[in-house]
Chains A and B, each alone.
Chain A
Amino acid sequence: MLPPFEIHQPSTAAEAAALRARFGESAALYAGGSELLLAMKEGLGGFEHLIDVKTIPGLDAVDVAADGTLTIGAAVTHRTLERSPLARQRFPLLAEMERQVANPRVRSVGTLGGNLCFAEPHSDPPTALLVHGATVVLEGAGGRRRLPLADFIVGPYESALGEDELLTAVEVAAPPPRAASAYVKFGMHERPTVGVAALLVPDARGAVAEARIAVGCVGPVATRLGALETALGGLPLAAVEAGWPAADHAGDDLDAMSDLHGSADYKRAMAGVFVKRALALAARRARAAA
């Protein structure tokens, strides 16, 4: 049973932002409801107003610009992105990640924008989007602004979304030519214990020209592993595919949280295991495509 509330149907982002400004903390943005309604069933939030952003035209679109940048509307479902031919062909990491989110029912209704705004730490999308250096587009009374995703999700269940703003889109720049990627995850429950996204750009001689790795679910927010990315530079892809020994320690310095999904030590150990696997898979794909 849910507590009583009223549903609002704005037809523009500005109207939605104005509703937020008017109702303040008694209002919640509502899209798929796959996080919000479960929290409300637990008596959290106390929202008297749900602002249905799905009634805003265009928020459900996936488009690519002339420069290859992908724009994903905030109300695009996990399922739509999973099956988007654009995503599959040009951003396979995103499609591979979305295919593994929760279950088909959650993917039918849950949206990318809702997922990012909820900022649940045990989540897949931020990890893959960090590897792509994604940007979020926020619209409110003060106009439109853009933030790197890394600055948008600031902590567990905490984002930089202003009180009179809504997230309207996620922008993802095209990966470098010949980039190969992989998303792997592991967990014993519905939500993952660890998720790892890796992207490798090969040079002409079959070595790593650029590496990007992000780990999610282990700590309060998903993070890039900058030192490891640098250390991978110049390594032969064949060696990475065979299992890069240094990856065993990839999780050692992570700010890990003990919870239902594992102790902090366990999660750090699993981060190492799955960073190694993600890199090996990305390296195999890079070599197969060469």
Chain B
Amino acid sequence: MTKFLLETMANFAITGFFADLIVVLVYFVLLLLFIIINVMLVVWVERRVCAFYQERLGPNRVGPFGILQSVVDAVKLISKEIIYPKNVDKWVYFLAPIICFISALLLYTVLPFGKGLVLVKLNVGLLFFVAFSSTTTISILMAGWGSNNKYSLLGGMRTVAQMISYEIPLLLSMFGVIMLAGSLNLQDIVNAQEHRWFINLQPLAFIIFIIASIAELNRAPFDLPEAEQELVAGYHTEYSGMQFAFFYLAEYANLFSLSILCTTIFLGGYLGPFFPSWIWFTVKVYGVILLYMWIRWTLPRIRMDKMMKLNWKFLIPLSLLNIVGTGVAIKAWPYIQQLVR
């Protein structure tokens, strides 16, 4: 595709730096469309699944099965006024949702969507993902502080405490996979799973990853940062219109990207027999998303101190043990094979 674009532009005498720039822009727009369409779909799926678990109907008026509900909601949010409450920290308040959305978008640049379908083939792909997903924390802090509202501040503080703590087991659970694949490049990690998915070799890491990623996404049972009954809506209490939509979109974009990461490092990514790679990819990713939704609408909210205890006294020691076990197993495996023969 890059080649085709470059050749077309060469016909119009556009070459060099500007041609590269245009290629990047085209990819960016395509990526943006892909994310927004999928996020709208995921929001609709979430509302339908939630309704199913609660024995309601859910949105079913706009389009077949209400599938266009998210589109209508987006139009509504765009047309609403953006309100700046009194005494907000203007620049911080204004920039927070934008930074939140951008850091959610950046994650998609390294994720492989299918065989050869990856925007940037980065050697440190997994590290890039982890690094930029940690910048979301800052935008949430900015939103909580900039709103000049006690509920927002409390929500922001809770989010940050939670996200910083649960980032550790999330990272540690990936180490086993990195050790097995011997690479940080996400495509190499997928290709290393050709014969056996890493969920078979790292079942413990997979469970830790799922728990920690739910906490990272601020979804129930770890939805303390935006607990409606206690904090109104947490860090985005004061936001309205398109700014609120940015937070909402970023939340589901993060859900989607973490599901992709989960598929990529544990479930064999886009690999699978008979069908083209992107079909396998879609099926697996939506499977993981449904798993997240199942957990969210089944379990009640956990208490703050229990949440911290679960992380520091259970998940982190367990994931450290998993790393040690993986290291020993990798070194010992050849000898065991010889013994068996």
Do A and B share a complex? Answer: no
* Residues of chain B at the chain A interface (Cβ within 8 Å): none
